[in-house]
Structure formats: C-alpha cells, structure tokens
Amino acid sequence: MTDRDARVLECCMDAARRVASPLLLGGMWIALLSAAGCHDAAAPQQDARRGAATADPCAVEPLEAFDASIDGGGGIPAASFAGRVAEISPTDGFGRTTYRIVESGGAEHHLVLRDEGPSPVRVNGSYDFHIERVAGTPGASALLVRDGQGLVFAGASDDGIGAHVLAAGVEGFTLRLDPVSCASRGSGDCYRAAINRALAVGHNGAAASLYPRDEADLGAYHVRCLIAQQIEYAGCPDFALHGVSFTITRVK
C-alpha cells in the first residue's frame, strides 16, 4: 500500500467512525463509507471556481455550443444596434430563446440565442447589442451586450479564441486556451481524438481555469465554459466541431 493509499484509507475510516455504529457489519459498512463522502485528496473536488466538478475533467463531454443569430438576418456577418427589450419568448424545444428588441425609431430586431444560460437582459431594459456570425461547419457566432454600466453579457463559439469572431476580445477579460494536458476522451468515425482543454479566464486580478461544463464567479460576472477542446480529424469532408464556447454574464 502506498502512502497515498494509506491516507485515503485513513480518511475513509475516520469518516466512517463518525457516522457508523460498531454493530454495523458487511455491506452496511460499505454503504456508510460511501455516504460519509470519502475522497482522495488529489482528486478534483467542487470548489468556488468549479461549478460542475468531475472526478476527471479530461473525460467529461462538452455541452451544446452557445449560438447567436438575428432572425431574418441572412448572411450579415456583423450588426450593431441599440434598443429596448420588448419581449423575451419562452425557450423552444431546441433550446432557443428569442429576444424582441425595439430601437428608438421603431425598427425591430429578433435576436435568437441558444444555450445563453440565465437571461442576460431584462424586459424593458435598454442595451447596446453587437452580434457577429460567420457561416461554416460549424458556424462561429458571438454576442456582446452593454448598458450604461459596461459589459452585461458576452458569449462566443468558434474554432479558437478570436479565430473568426471577437477578434478584439472581450473588454475587461483575458481569455486563452491552455496547452493540451489531457488524453483523448474518445474517437469517432470522423475524428481520431477529442481532447479536453482548460479555458483560462482572467478579470480584475481574479482568474479561473475551466474545463467543459465548469463555471466560475469572477467579480461581478459568472463565467461558463461550454466547450474547450482540440479535435484530431480523420479526413471526413465538411465535418468540424467547435473548439471553444463560453458565456460571461454580469450577475451583480
């Protein structure tokens, strides 16, 4: 038995003694050890910066990508407008929510978001919107929302940070994909390897390293990492996956 194994066993036995009766035997001891919450100290545990802690962040499957588009916007690569949020529709069966925005002159925009998390704006609130979208397989998209106090929301899905959208970054934040340190979590017909990466996020001196499905609070903002990965493709035409997808929402 290694020193590490001994420490883990000692942790388990101490936890069991706190909740177990000396009369408990056999399978009941096993149940108590599990219920007591015995963990290897070296294994990733849930903390303030990890919202979806996993025993192995290298093995977790990413979430669906954030997506932003303008209903009827066609192939417009970028658009900026300011207006009041007149209506927020219920989320449909595909995870899409439509925000009806009315400019001061009466022009309307139907902003369609998917997997943006808790609504970043409120009905009757006035905001400045900037959306970017690049067609492809998959397409890249990004959205920035601001009000009089600054950034309200930022979200993007792309091959990499700033590859096709948000080339100027997100104001007040640093974003990068750390070098690969994981083994592949699997393969498929069109890719030889899918490797999780850490999305490093910094804001006002605070920082977090987030794997897919992780979340963190940095100052007044809540950050979600939906996708952070490197794909080794197997040569299928017209097949690609997002390399990164994230959202940043002001919550304070």
For the chain, the domains span 3-35, 67-250
pTM of the model: 0.79
Reported as type and span, the H/E element at residue 146 is strand 140-147
Q: Among residues 145, 122, 157, which one has the least CA distance to residue 221?
A: 145
- pLDDT at 165 exceeding the cut of 60: yes
- pLDDT at 24 exceeding the cut of 60: no
What's the mean pLDDT when you consider all of the chain? 84
Contact 136, 124 (CB under 8 A): no
Helices (H) and strands (E) in the chain, counts: 2, 14
pLDDT of residue 204: 97
Please write the tens of the pLDDT for every residue from 172-218.
Answer: 999 999 999 999 999 999 999 999 999 999 999 999 999 999 999 99
Residue 14: pLDDT band (50, 70, 90) is very low
Distance CA 224, CA 63 (A): 10
What does each C-alpha distance from 166 to 131, 142, 148, 174, 230 come to in angstroms? 9, 7, 21, 12, 19
Q: Provide mean pLDDT across the span 62-71.
A: 96
pLDDT of residue 76: 78
* Tokens describing residue 252: 């304070």
Contact 212, 62 (CB under 8 A): yes
pLDDT of residue 38: 36
Q: Provide mean pLDDT across the span 110-139.
A: 95
What does each C-alpha distance from 188 to 31, 176, 193, 213 come to in angstroms? 37, 27, 8, 21
3-state helix/strand/coil string of 4-44: HHHHHHHHHHHHHHHHCCCCCCCHHHHHHHHHCCCCCCCCC
Residue 33: pLDDT band (50, 70, 90) is very low
- pLDDT at 51 exceeding the cut of 90: no
Please write the tens of the pLDDT for every residue from 227-238.
Answer: 999 999 998 999
